[in-house]
Amino acid sequence: MTQNILIKCIGTLQEPWHQQAIHIYTKRYQTFGKLEIIELSEGNKKSAKPNLAKTLQIEADSLLKNLDPNAFIIALDQSGQELNSKEFSNLISLNNSKFMIHGSKLIFIIGGSWGLDKKILQKANYILSLGKMTFPHSLARIMLVEQLYRAQMINHGRNYHK
């Protein structure tokens, strides 16, 4: 059974090696389903001193636009739950009845450099943290895509995770 995943994120990847890393793991993921990434504009209009509340609100509206109301939404935020790779694979497993992912679209949301507005966190079915350290959102995206691939390898009993 395949699992299609959508990642909605703020900002574009600027460095060629960021784009290459995403390409590698997106291509590897194809064995298990479709991994789609939608990049949305930053809400600060490239201002060096943006209005933080307004920026987060603009980005939240953009991230929430056209979401499937039946989707299972996982927001990446430092306030979220930290999981190891096996726990993460269980979370996104198609057989995970606890979160009722089966039959729902799975959507990950990654904010921009200022984080996520509260309304995203309230809308999310699950809040995930990649750890206590702060990462640039471009690296968070790469780490998420790699972990999605790793989770599928674990869930399909393939030799990748050690």
Bridge-partner residues for 108, per DSSP? 7, 74
Residues in Cβ contact with 10 at an 8 Å cutoff, skipping those fewer than 6 apart: 39, 40, 41, 42, 43, 59, 62, 63, 110, 111, 112, 137
> Each residue of 82-95: b (16+ CB within 10 Å) or e?
ebebeebbbbbbee
- The DSSP 8-state label assigned to residue 49 in this structure reads S
If DSSP codes are grouped into helix, strand and coil, which group holds residue 31?
coil
**Which residue in 37, 32, 34, 35 sits closest to 152, CA to CA?**
32
Q: What is the CATH number of domain 5-155?
A: 3.40.1280.10
Domain ranges of the chain: 5-155
Each residue's pLDDT expressed in tens, for the chain with a length of 162 residues: 668 899 999 999 989 999 999 999 999 999 999 999 999 998 877 666 778 899 999 999 999 999 888 889 999 999 999 999 999 999 998 777 666 665 678 999 999 888 999 999 999 999 999 998 888 889 999 999 999 999 999 999 988 756
Beta strands in the chain (DSSP E): 5-10, 35-40, 72-82, 106-110, 126-129
One-letter amino acid at 47 equals S
Using CA of residue 7, residue 11, residue 13, residue 18, what is the dihedral sign? negative
